Amino acid sequence: MNDVPRSFRGNSNAARDIAHHLHPYTNFKKHEATGPLTIVRGRGVYVVDDDGKEYIEGMAGLWSAALGFSNERLATVAYEQMKQLPFYHAFNQRSHEPAINLAEKIKSMAPFAASKVFFANSGSEANDTVVKMVWYMNNALGRPEKKKIISRIKGYHGITVASGSLTGLPVNHRSFDLPIAGILHTSCPHFYRFGLPGETEDQFTTRCAEELEALIVKEGPETCAAFIAEPVMGAGGVIVPPKGYYEKIQAVLKKYDMLFCADEVICGFGRTGNVWGSQTMGITPDILTCAKALSASFLPISAVMINEKVYQALMMESDKIGTFGHGFTYSGHPVAAAVALEAQKIYDETDLFGHAKRMSPTFTNHVQSFADHPLVGEAMSVGMMGAIEIVADKKTKASFDTTVGAGLKVATHAQALGLFVRNMGDRVAICPPLIINETELGDLFGRLHQAFDGALADLKSEGHFKG
């Protein structure tokens, strides 16, 4: 018993968590040995653990808490809605005012001519819904073979069976028997990693578009229905495609009558410097999914917005069959919808998107300040999201062996310094709440510099870095 950490003994939070709670994205064996870090409260951009230690939440939780971790208005709206109508559904032509108001609001904000809004509960559910809508639409149009959906290597679109298949990361496929049939993956538009020697960014984007077209031709254009992309890749490493990439990709899709599905789960609601990442990157989608900052992450809710072409096909087929046989008990849940609508009001009243845009140059300067660090190969950002790639050799771009865990070392040092960031392999992501101010940003990046220096010292002492 003396070998068990004190915090794991008896009836502690850690002991009960280990005994009862199965965590997402977790090494279960490691969790049994080291236990959880339990967060008990939040204030602005800070969260506090059960030992009283405060952390800057440099990832806004999971790319999502735009308003940080405390807001009386949202708490009050949730309480008032709970008292009035704590639950109702949207099946069989039922509705309620919070869902109607929210649909009207976000449709008015759409970066394309949106026709209708469908609600779900997470980004994964929203993107899963997109897959089914695309299939349903093409059956309605008499094109039963036109069903394949193309995603990208390193793209992230969720973890349900369909959305997990769209995701282009090995860890989300291994041992899950994914991807399912009909889901394809094309090139990742990361010039730093995948540009060829002597290739310009323009040549690289042309090659990406050509590789997409070659895949469509190989599979048969009559079988390829849609392309899905995050305007800026999130969990794949905060990858910002070079200028001109989406213009060329959209030309290919138009040529072969394929839909563009924009996954705005992370990029939506001010994260990239505009309301939508599609606006930042020059995308005109046919379908758009959003979640996370839709409600500032105070309650689970997501949405799928579709254009009139998609809606007309869904409408015709639902009339033919008698129903659109898809939906969730909590689609447009009244409390979640009321909170999301209030979050949008707060965004408007405080000019949060404008604030984020004004803070973006400062954020970019902080990210770029890592470019000369001995461990850094690339420092990339757009709006208020960025990533710093750790390399073993700056000249050759050679990576550390995965067993070294260089990115994890940075994240671990950061946590010890009271900062949460996220390492995706050896790319370290930063995505703070949009309410963060200049002083807090300086503090965040000051701690991150210390974390990089600590990781460098570790790597040198372990003999992994001699630069």
Model pLDDT for residues 178-209, shown as the tens digit of each residue: 999 999 999 999 999 999 999 999 999 999 99
Q: Flag whether 467 is in a domain.
A: no
> Among residues 350, 376, 409, which one ends one of the domains?
350
Which DSSP string do the residues of 251-269 spell out, in sequence order? HHHHHTT-EEEEE-TTTTT
Whether residues 336 and 393 fall in one domain = no
Q: Flag whether 233 is in a domain.
A: yes
The pLDDT of residue 35 is 95
Tokens representing residue 91 in the block: 């099946």
Average pLDDT, the chain: 96
**Domain around 137:** 73-350
Whether residues 92 and 193 fall in one domain = yes
pLDDT band at 6 (very low <50, low <70, confident <90, very high): very low
Alpha helix locations (H) across 308-437? 308-321, 334-350, 352-368, 406-416
Whether residues 105 and 202 fall in one domain = yes
Summarize the confidence of residues 257-280 as an average pLDDT: 98
Summarize the confidence of residues 134-140 as an average pLDDT: 98
The pLDDT of residue 5 is 54
How crowded is residue 221: how many other Cβ atoms within 10 Å of its Cβ? 16
The pLDDT of residue 2 is 39
Which CATH number fits the domain that encloses residue 263?
A: 3.40.640.10
Summarize the confidence of residues 290-312 as an average pLDDT: 98
> Among residues 293, 322, 350, which one ends one of the domains?
350
Whether residues 246 and 261 fall in one domain = yes
pTM: 0.95
The pLDDT of residue 4 is 46
Closest by CA position to 305, among listed 339, 270, 265, 344: 265
The pLDDT of residue 109 is 98
Q: Flag whether 176 is in a domain.
A: yes
Whether residues 242 and 147 fall in one domain = yes
> Among residues 294, 320, 350, which one ends one of the domains?
350
Strand order in the sheet with 427-430: 376-382, 385-390, 427-430, 422-424
How crowded is residue 105: how many other Cβ atoms within 10 Å of its Cβ? 16
Summarize the confidence of residues 275-279 as an average pLDDT: 98
Summarize the confidence of residues 216-230 as an average pLDDT: 98
Whether residues 283 and 365 fall in one domain = no
- For residue 43, pLDDT beyond 60: yes
Whether residues 175 and 244 fall in one domain = yes
Whether residues 1 and 90 fall in one domain = no
| Domains held by the chain: number | 3
As a whole number of Å, the CA-based R_g of the chain is: 23
CB 371 within 8 A of CB 447: no
The pLDDT of residue 341 is 98
Q: Flag whether 112 is in a domain.
A: yes
d(CA 68, CA 72): 12
- Helices and strands in the chain: count of H runs, count of E runs: 16, 15
Whether residues 12 and 51 fall in one domain = no
d(CA 36, CA 203): 47
Whether residues 374 and 320 fall in one domain = no
Q: Flag whether 466 is in a domain.
A: no
Summarize the confidence of residues 273-289 as an average pLDDT: 98
Which CATH number fits the domain that encloses residue 366?
A: 3.90.1150.10
Summarize the confidence of residues 235-251 as an average pLDDT: 98
Whether residues 78 and 161 fall in one domain = yes
Q: Flag whether 355 is in a domain.
A: no
Q: Flag whether 1 is in a domain.
A: yes
Whether residues 24 and 84 fall in one domain = no
- For residue 3, pLDDT beyond 90: no
Q: Flag whether 160 is in a domain.
A: yes
pLDDT digits (tens, 9 = 90+) for 378-432: 999 999 999 999 999 999 999 999 999 999 999 999 999 999 999 999 999 999 9
The pLDDT of residue 135 is 98
Percent of the chain with pLDDT over 90: 97
CB 389 within 8 A of CB 402: no
For 80, residues 6+ apart whose C-beta sits below 8 A from its C-beta are 338
Tokens representing residue 137 in the block: 């639409």
Summarize the confidence of residues 151-167 as an average pLDDT: 98
